[in-house]
Each structure stands twice: as C-alpha cells, then as structure tokens.
Amino acid sequence: MNKFSLLVVFIAFHSFLAVNAQNKVMPNFVSTKVFENDKSIWPTFTQGVVHYEAEVMYIYGNVYVTPEMPDSANHARPTFRSSYLLPIYSQYKKNQGKINPNFDEEMYLFINIKFDPKKTYDKIWEQLSPYHEMLTYRVGPQWHEGKLKVIFVGNAPMRTFQQERVCFVGAQGTVADLDKNYDNKVMPLIGVDFENEIDWNGVGKMPFDEYRAFKDIVLKAHKQNKKVRVYNLPDNEDVWDVLYTAGVDMISGDDPVTFREFLETKQ
C-alpha cells in the first residue's frame, strides 16, 4: 500500500470515529435550547440529543416556539410544527421508523405552555394527529407504542388526558403527585425544579440530609416505574455529578457538547 492509500485510509478511519462519536445518544439529557428558526434543531440530531423541551405560546391561531409574547404580530418566531414536528417526523421516515438510528427507546418531547393552556392544547392536539404513526398515544383503553412521547410540563389537565377517547400526550408530574400514584402511561415521569425545590445552590457539596431526601424521591418514583427529570438547573458539572449519582434519569440543559464531555468522564 503506497503512502497516498495509507493517508486515505487514515482519514476515513478518523472520520468514521468522529461521526460515531457524534451520533452516540444521550438518553439522560433534555435539550432546553430555544430554537430561533426552523433549522435550529437539525445539528442536535448528530450531537446525540434525543429529548427536547419546547417553550410554546398560542398566538393568533397557531403555536409558536417562544418563552414570551412577541412585540408585534409581524414576529419571526418559528412554529412548533415547523421547528419540531416536521424535522422529527422527517428523521422518523428517513431512518425507517427510528427518529435516531442509534436509539430504540421512546424520545420525549416536553411542551412548556406559556400562555392560554386550553387553546394551546387544542391546537397541539390538532397538529399531532397527522403524525400519529410515530407517537405513543391512547385510543380508548388501548395504547399505541410509538417512538415519540409528547409530555406536557406544568399544570397538565390530567382529567382531560384520562377521559379523552384519543389522547396524544402525557404529563410530567410533581413530587406531590407521587402520593397520587397516577398511571405511569399517563404520567411517565416526575419533574423536580432545581431552583425552587432544592435548597442546595449547587456550590460545594450537597448536604447529606438533603441528598438522602432527594434520593428517596428518585427511589419512590422508580418504584412506580416513573422516570425523574431535573430542570431549571445550572450547567454545572458538580450539580450534574450529584444528580447522576442519585440516579436521575433526565437532566435538562442547553449545552449538549459539555454534557457529553461530562458523561465521558463517568464512563
């Protein structure tokens, strides 16, 4: 083999390693990055992101991705459908029934409604319907197991979710919901707001008594076959390490690259 051929093999091998490193999924990370346009989600597909949170708002008959009301009707905020549903569905079709070719489990799409929950829910239900083949949803008592689970964050209308004949979404519960023991199909996970529900500020070591109380929450959720997601937290490796050690299933953040580097130190 001549030097040129060796160089080609060397480059191809390292390119293969780089692509596979990028495609390695992070099932314990939820991207909370606010997408500024319809194309913002595409790079995350090769960064290993498989779970997302979208902050949405119902404005003039459509659902837009924005954490706050725009200044005018002529805003440039992307729609929920164009920035999340269409790209995710495109990946689902491209990968022949998988949203990420290296991930066989359910992907979670968290929806954080910022205004008018009733109109937002009705519009999102309407927009989800055409994509039912990739969704986990319920018709009557029967569940269709899909590749995308849509989860409402906040004051989810649990009675509506339980009573609807066709339901495309589930709910993220609170710590208080652990005592109610909702069906884990309707409420598959418990959310913990780091800023408002944990006294530790993330600096130094977490006090042992607080860690033990938090660990008990994680264990109780797991006994109900529910995942635990911590959100509203600093992008801080010390905090990630405590949550990871406690058995938290999903950690929210807007920096997947740094989180991947953290995971590599744990593995």
Average pLDDT over residues 258-264: 95
Q: How far apart are CA 231 and CA 253, in angstroms?
A: 8
Residue 199 in domain: yes
Q: How far apart are CA 148 and CA 106, in angstroms?
A: 5
pLDDT for position 90:
97
Residue-wise pLDDT for 63-119, tens only, equals 999 888 877 667 788 999 999 999 999 999 999 999 999 999 999 999 998 888 888
- Do 231 and 191 meet the contact criterion of CB atoms below 8 Å apart? yes
Q: How far apart are CA 20 and CA 107, in angstroms?
A: 20
Residue 61 in domain: yes
Please enumerate, as own/partner, the contacts of 96-104 that have beta carbons within 8 Å and a separation of 24 or more.
Answer: 97/134, 97/147, 98/147, 99/50, 99/134, 99/147, 99/148, 100/23, 100/25, 100/45, 100/50, 101/23, 102/23, 102/24, 102/25, 103/25, 103/27, 103/50
For residue 22, what are the contacts with CB-CB under 8 A and spacing of at least 6?
46, 47, 48
Residue 18 in domain: no
Taking the CA of residue 213 as centre, how many other CA atoms within 13 Å lie in the half-sphere pointing to its CB? 11
Residue 17 in domain: no
pLDDT for position 132:
93
Q: How far is CA 229 from the centre of its chain?
A: 9
Domain, as residue range, for 59: 23-266
Residue 23: pLDDT band by 50, 70, 90 thresholds?
low
CATH of the domain at 118: 3.20.20.190
- Which percentage of the chain shows pLDDT scores above 90? 70
pLDDT for position 20:
43
pLDDT for position 69:
81
pLDDT for position 9:
38
pLDDT for position 156:
64
Q: Could you tell me whether strands 227-231 and 169-173 are parallel, antiparallel, or unpaired per DSSP bridges?
A: unpaired
Total residues belonging to the chain = 267
Domain count, the chain: 1
- Do 139 and 166 meet the contact criterion of CB atoms below 8 Å apart? yes
Residue 10 in domain: no
Comparing CA positions, the residue from 47, 172, 186 lying closest to residue 111 is 172
Looking up tokens 């937290």, which residue turns up? 233
Residue 11 in domain: no
Across the chain, mean pLDDT equals 88
Q: Where are the alpha helices (DSSP H) in the chain?
A: 3-23, 80, 86-94, 117-128, 158-163, 194-197, 208-223, 237-246, 256-266
Residue 186 in domain: yes
Q: How far apart are CA 255 and CA 235, in angstroms?
A: 7
Q: Is residue 131 classed as helix, strand or coil in its secondary structure?
A: helix
Residue 244 in domain: yes
Residue-wise pLDDT for 111-157, tens only, equals 998 888 888 888 999 999 999 999 999 999 999 999 999 999 976 66
